[in-house]
Amino acid sequence: MTSEDVVFDFGRAGRIGLDESVFCAGKSAGQIAGILESARERDAGLLLTRLDADRLTQLPAELREAIDYCALSRTGFFGPLRPVAMSGKIAIVAAGTSDAPVAREAARTLRHAGIEATIVTDVGVAGLWRLMDRIEDIRRHPIVIAVAGMDAALASVLGGLVSSALIAVPTSVGYGAAEGGRTALNAMLASCAAGITVCNIDNGYGAAAAAIRILNSFTALADESVQS
């Protein structure tokens, strides 16, 4: 793979407020290496998603050592990483520890954008007291990402308890009838709690991107208010 095979969207941030990222699943180690080499030539920072550990080990050592890798979320930071510029705006609430990989993917996506999220884990509705112990802390965040598998009831419960913008992510966690996250997806889509935004199964990246769009709209409104 040559640099001519890689077409980076360097204008993405200017158009929609989201940085370029690379979905690594389905790409060979050679293809990923070519992308990284091309990014390095431009001194561009990249977020890598769905980068399995075995594919990471197949990369040239020089490139592999330049990646800040998180095995839990299968994400990597390559090249320049912006410092944290914002915190306290987004809470990521995961029903169980089995949902942590998806929650962590969302958190790492936000961190790559310079946003530090608050992570609240293992507060599923099977032990509702655990959620209620943390609810006041969660309410302080204007955006909440709810990550849950199985029956995904966490999203509906949070939808009735917080006024924050609520982004729900179904996960593929669960036994047979959970159908690889399809039951959780349907439950979130059918929620009686109004105004919930629902992402695709296991799509922590997409949830973080939605949160960034919301934050950017806050900033744009504030700027317009100051100018007027």
Predicted local confidence at residue 154, as pLDDT: 96
Mean pLDDT in each 10-residue stretch from start to end of the chain (228 residues)?
Answer: 60 74 92 91 91 94 94 94 92 95 97 96 91 95 97 95 97 94 97 95 97 85 59
* pLDDT at position 3: 47
Q: What is the pLDDT of residue 17?
A: 73
What are 164's two structure tokens?
Answer: 């924050």
Structure tokens that stand for 195 in this block: 């105004």
HSE-CB of 173 using CA atoms within 13 angstroms: 22
**CA gap 164, 91 in Å, rounded:** 10
What does the pLDDT read at residue 10?
67
Structural domains present in the chain: 3-78 (no CATH), 86-217 (3.40.50.1970)
Residue 115: half-sphere exposure toward Cβ, Cα within 13 Å: 26
Q: SS3 for 47?
A: strand
Binning the chain into helix, strand and coil, the percentages to the nearest 5 are: 45, 20, 35
pLDDT of residue 156: 96
What is the separation of C-alpha 148 from the centre of its chain, rounded to a whole number of angstroms?
A: 14
Q: Are 207 and 106 in contact (CB under 8 A)?
A: yes
Strands (E), the chain: 21-23, 46-49, 67-70, 75-78, 86-94, 115-120, 143-148, 165-170, 196-198
Q: How far is residue 219's CA from residue 30's CA, in Å, rounded to a whole number?
A: 40
Report residue 102 as tokens.
């998806």
Beta bridge partner(s), residue 70: 75
